[in-house]
A and B are shown apart, each in its own frame.
Chain A
Amino acid sequence: MRQYGAAGTLLLALLLIWEGLCRWLPVPTYILPAPSRALAALWQWRGPLFLEHLPVTALEILLGLGFSVLAGVAMAVAMHLSPLLNRALYPLIIASQTIPIVAISPVFLFWFGYTLTQKVAVVILITFFPVVVNTCDGLRSADPELLEWMRAAGASRRQMLRMVEVPAALPAFFTGLKVAAAVSVTGAVIAEWLGGQAGLSVYGRRAANNLKSPELFASVLLLSLLGIALFGLAAWCERRFASYTDRKTP
């Protein structure tokens, strides 16, 4: 906890300054609500926010992120095992990042309508890249001399993958997972802004249309907490399954 002390203190100070400014300056609430107003709104609408909108957004993110991890790792391994596949796909995957996701996401509306599938598709679009690229680079980062030792010892391709390349790829994979977890919330927000029945961003947009800034901020607060929780989960998995990277210093 000590490492977060400085950041926590700064955040608290900024919130206090924000609160003070809103109280002592004649700022209309719809321009900038005080943090206390946002918290009050969160408490007032806790029922719909936590029971109706949060579960919808969380489901979209978890399904999208889960698909990206499974398909991204499978694709990275396939690209690693097949140089032809790697040459064909790698440049296209990099190039796909130049597509503005906000601009292309309405296409999913035409394909899937205002459905869960449409939201999950946007989350996949934004989280697939960090998973597949980091896993691919991680698989390639295995020590070539160690691989040569494995080959000389008579190891099969499968054994080299399982015993050397996959463990070597874990740190990079978790870096990709943490990035994907952080941006997955953005994906869900973009998808929900296009429209829908429920979700934190749907709620926030409705609030914004009615100039209810405290309610908008309440939904934004929940969205960032969701992102932090996902990032924390990914970081926990990293410590649990790639713990040797922690112990680099003797």
Chain B
Amino acid sequence: MISSPVISSPMISIDQIDYAYAGASVLRGLTLHVLPGEFVSLVGPSGCGKSTIFKLITGLLAPAAGSIRVLGGPPAPGRVGYMPQRDCLMPWRTAVENAAAGLEVQGVTPAEARDQARALFADFGLAGSEAKFPHQLSGGMRQRVAFLRTVLGGHPVLLLDEPFGALDALTRAQMQQWLLALWERLGKTVLFITHDAEEAALLSDRVYALHGDAVEIPINLPRPRRYGMVTDPALLERRAAILREVGLL
């Protein structure tokens, strides 16, 4: 190896894993990797095992065969940032207290955690919502709080499980634009789950189409990107490639 292992070694590497649930095979011989600083999306229909992959990476589940390496070690809870499909905010906590929850889990005192969370509220487009409870926030705002909670954990790798899946089309477009701008500044490695081929093409460096195993689709579009690129012919062509791989074209 000539290149530095810090740069070349993948943040996540999944090698030939099998996973079955209740006797039915969910993943078979799945192989994928995510390099430092990459934005990688997993696209596939519902029930194809996308969320199972996240549970395997966070160590909540163990594969029947094959190996998973996360940051060069075995998967274990607390090693990567995880954002679930629903926002999963605590209804009894304000936005700031919710955003601070991940830090508190790591042992930071509640007061210190809240200060760190409050400092990022403006950056995340949440200024003025600090003392609001989740039910007082719109769906898009709740997802921002949930994302801030994930980012504040300080992990270099973030797993985002269909974060915009439950939003209406316009709010989703706004959130995609917002995430693009934010991600360029954050310098995080992201593994993103979606069933939206356009979203995957717009946000990602590489896409894996899933049906038991994973087929890699490079995106190779310039950055920085913005939401308006969804009508570019190059992006439409990538979107078609993804749809072909998941069997919809």
Residues of A at under 8 Å CB distance from B? Answer: 143, 145-146, 148-155, 159, 163-164, 167-168, 170, 242, 244, 247-248, 250
Chain A CB within 8 A of B229 CB: no
Q: Is the CB of A152 within 8 A of B86?
A: no
Contact of A155 among B59, B79, B86, B105 (CB under 8 A): B105
- Chain B interface bracket (under 10, 10 to 19, 20 to 34, 35 or more): 20 to 34
CA distance A145 to B58 in the complex (A): 14
Contact of B78 among A153, A163, A167, A168 (CB under 8 A): A153
- 3 nearest A-B residue pairs (beta carbon): A154-B78, A152-B58, A152-B82
Q: Is the CB of A244 within 8 A of B78?
A: no
Q: Is the CB of A151 within 8 A of B60?
A: yes
List chain B residues, Cβ under 8 A from A248: 135
Q: Is the CB of A247 within 8 A of B90?
A: no
Interface of A (DSSP majority class): helix
Q: Is the CB of B135 within 8 A of A148?
A: no
Contacts A152-B60, A152-B82 given; indicate if A167 touches B92 (C-beta within 8 A): yes
Chain A CB within 8 A of B216 CB: no
Within 8 A of A (CB), among B126-150: 133, 135-136
Per-residue A-contact encoding for B41-65, CB less than 8 Å = 1, 0 else: 0000000000000010011100000
CA distance A88 to B111 in the complex (A): 41
Q: Is the CB of B101 within 8 A of A145?
A: no
CA distance A250 to B133 in the complex (A): 10
CA distance A223 to B59 in the complex (A): 57
List chain B residues, Cβ under 8 A from A143: 88
List chain B residues, Cβ under 8 A from A242: 92
Contacts A149-B84, A167-B90 given; indicate if A154 touches B135 (C-beta within 8 A): no
